[in-house]
């Protein structure tokens, strides 16, 4: 699904990702952990194509295509989704309208027909109910006046409606209380169909307890320094990141 080779990313003239390799197969869930400033969010933005995140070398294959050749919206249409750590407010733009416009733009780019309004509403409403979100949020402006938890859950609604091939969740668990965390984790688990892949960026083992990722990687100073199974997350939680750089410890 995703194959990253020797990726280098520069932000504002400073190299943040310094030769990262990662391969994510179809249906797999990979967790990426690591200390602040290690490049976790940068990885998500660089894969999405955000301006200012300059890929200086390396390659990224996504679903058989050269991801780095694509514009931001083309990556989205190709099936890449990034749930933002800080979802953005768009005043005056109806949340449901935004979501439908996004879905139809993607469908159009893929040569598919526009979605039927009724079918769309049905999907969205079902997802809202499962995430225990007030339907009134559909009529409000995108993320405007949403609580932190509502914003994060709104990202999961988008994820569920847009049905990407690969979803990157950037600290979707931060700022969530335990009940909301559970709802979000359940929302993500419902989307695991054996084909869809996930990259979950997080600081905490708690979310991973619910999601049970197949692989856990530790990112430090722009490189993956350790990979393992779910037990690695437990070790990090107990010991912190100090063991990563024994030379300096």
**Exactly one of 106, 172, 197, 202 binds another protein (CB under 8 A); which one?**
106
Q: Is the Cα torsion angle 177, 179, 180, 186 positive or negative in sign?
A: positive
Q: Check if the beta carbon of residue 174 is closer than 8 Å to that of residue 84.
A: no
How far apart are CB 100 and another protein at their closest, in Å? 11
Q: Is 77 in the site for another protein (CB under 8 A)?
A: yes
How far apart are CB 156 and another protein at their closest, in Å? 14
Q: Is 87 in the site for another protein (CB under 8 A)?
A: yes
How far is Cα of residue 13 from the mean position of the Cα atoms in its chain? Answer: 25
> To which H or E segment does residue 180 belong?
helix 178-190
Q: Check if the beta carbon of residue 224 is closer than 8 Å to that of residue 22.
A: yes
Q: Is 194 in the site for another protein (CB under 8 A)?
A: no
**Exactly one of 13, 91, 111, 194 binds another protein (CB under 8 A); which one?**
91
How far apart are CB 18 and another protein at their closest, in Å? 24
Q: Is 162 in the site for another protein (CB under 8 A)?
A: yes
Nearer to another protein, 199 or 216 (CB): 199
d(CA 194, CA 150): 28
Which long-range contacts (C-beta less than 8 Å, at least 24 apart) are formed by 230-236? 233/31, 233/33, 233/205, 233/208, 234/205, 236/33, 236/205
Return phi, psi of residue 167, to 5°: -115, 130
Per-residue contact flags (x/-) with another protein for residues 115 to 154, judged by CB under 8 A: --------------------------xx------------
Residues in contact with another protein, counted by CB under 8 A, come to a total of 33
Binding site for another protein (CB under 8 A): 48-52, 71-73, 75-77, 81-82, 84, 87-93, 98-99, 101-103, 105-106, 109, 141-142, 158, 162
């Amino acid at each position: 699904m995703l194959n990253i080779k020797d990726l280098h990313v520069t932000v504002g003239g400073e190299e943040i990702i310094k030769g990262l390799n990662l391969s994510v197969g179809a249906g797999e869930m990979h967790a990426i952990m690591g200390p602040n400033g290690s490049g976790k969010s940068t990885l998500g933005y660089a894969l999405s194509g955000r301006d200012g995140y300059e890929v200086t070398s390396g390659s990224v294959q996504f679903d058989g295509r050269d991801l780095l050749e694509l514009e931001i919206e083309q990556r989205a249409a190709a099936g890449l989704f990034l749930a933002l750590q800080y979802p953005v407010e768009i005043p005056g733009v109806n949340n449901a309208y935004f979501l439908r416009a996004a879905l139809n733009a993607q469908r159009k780019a893929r040569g598919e027909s526009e979605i039927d309004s009724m079918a769309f509403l049905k999907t969205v409403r079902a997802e809202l109910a499962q995430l225990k979100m007030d339907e009134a949020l559909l009529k409000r402006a995108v993320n405007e006046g949403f609580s932190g938890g509502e914003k994060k859950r709104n990202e999961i609604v988008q994820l569920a409606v847009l049905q990407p091939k690969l979803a990157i969740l950037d600290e979707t668990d931060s700022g969530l209380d335990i009940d909301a965390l559970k709802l979000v984790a359940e929302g993500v688990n419902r989307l695991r169909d054996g084909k869809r892949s996930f990259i979950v960026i997080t600081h905490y083992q708690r979310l991973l307890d619910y999601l049970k990722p197949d692989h856990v990687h530790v990112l430090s100073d722009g490189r993956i320094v350790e990979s393992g199974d779910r037990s690695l997350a437990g070790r990090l939680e107990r010991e912190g990141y100090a063991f990563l750089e024994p030379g300096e410890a």
